[in-house]
Amino acid sequence: MSEDDPKTLVSTDWLAQHLNDPDLRILDASWYLPDMGRDARAEYDAAHIPGARFFDIDDISDQRSDLPHMAPPPEKFVSRLRAMGVGDGHQVVVYDGAGLFSAARVWWLFRLMGKTDVAVLDGGFAKWQAEDRPVEDLPPMVRDRHMTVQRQANLVKDVTQVAASTKLGDATIIDARGAPRFRGEEDEPRPGLRAGHIPTSVNVPYKSVLNDDGTMKSPDALTKVFEDAGVDLSKPAITTCGSGVTAAILSLALERTGHRRHALYDGSWAEWGMFNDLNVETGE
């Protein structure tokens, strides 16, 4: 797989070359945990890649759920994206302000809706700015664009399906949280959640698939990261994390290795850690 793949990951060089393509749509999908002390919308308003629209992960979600930013119903996804001028026939590039943190979640959401012409910007806005590439503070000119979606149910798992996999062993459950949280040695950032991890799951902290500059490791290096962590890449995979955001980084990494049978547990630890009748493991 080449470095630039418009269905998974593109470089800042690629985006700079295609910036004026009429059918390119750029989305700023920045999102931060409260302890990061950053305001994604304010940062977008101050400076963004020319033409970028702001994709609010918390708003474009299933508001009927008590869980954070669960995947939205297809009709809500369509209406929000149409209003942003994003639709059929567009090549979408998603980035975030942390390098590669929340953008993969939106890549996965597009995939869930059956849209495959979507890539994450490798290294994100930080790399774009470090290279002194153009930015603007103007809202983009938006024209409504028709969008059709077809939800791909195989790309998402609910708590019942994940619980079944822990017993059947039919998929490897891969947890993207940091090792101290995985082992239950660190309190969860969301109050009321137990500490630990889903039984049978393995830990691949999302930072382990990234380089120091926030870009994603090469496909060969990614394969080694997964295999060293005990992931059997011949089996289906289920990615999970705290609330379904960084799990998508592992989903993107799996896709980059050529692994095609992966799904994301949307409720993640925000759901599993809440229910006392679900088993929890601690330690390695």
3-state secondary structure 106-157: HHHHHHHCCCCCEEEECCHHHHHHHCCCCCECCCCCCCCCCCCCCCCHHHEE
Q: How far apart are CA 199 and CA 28, in angstroms?
A: 35
State yes or no: is 250 an active-site residue. Answer: no
- Which residue in 157, 161, 172, 166 sits closest to 198, CA to CA? 166
Q: What's phi and psi for 43, nearest 5 deg?
A: -65, -40
Q: What's phi and psi for 92, nearest 5 deg?
A: -105, 135
Contacts of residue 281, defined as CB under 8 A and 6 or more positions apart, other chains included, come to 184, 196, 197, 198, 199, 201
CA angle 121, 254, 129 (to 5 degrees): 15
Strand partners, 237: 172, 262
Structure tokens at 190: 């969301």
The residue from 93, 109, 210, 241 that is catalytic is 241
Helix (H, G, I), strand (E, B) or coil at 174: strand
- Render 84-101 in DSSP notation, one character per residue: TT--TTPEEEEE-TTSSS
Task: Provide Rg for the chain, Cα atoms.
Answer: 18
Q: Check: CB of residue 95 under 8 Å from CB of residue 29.
A: yes
* Helix H or strand E segment including 54: strand 53-54
| Residues annotated as part of the active site | 241
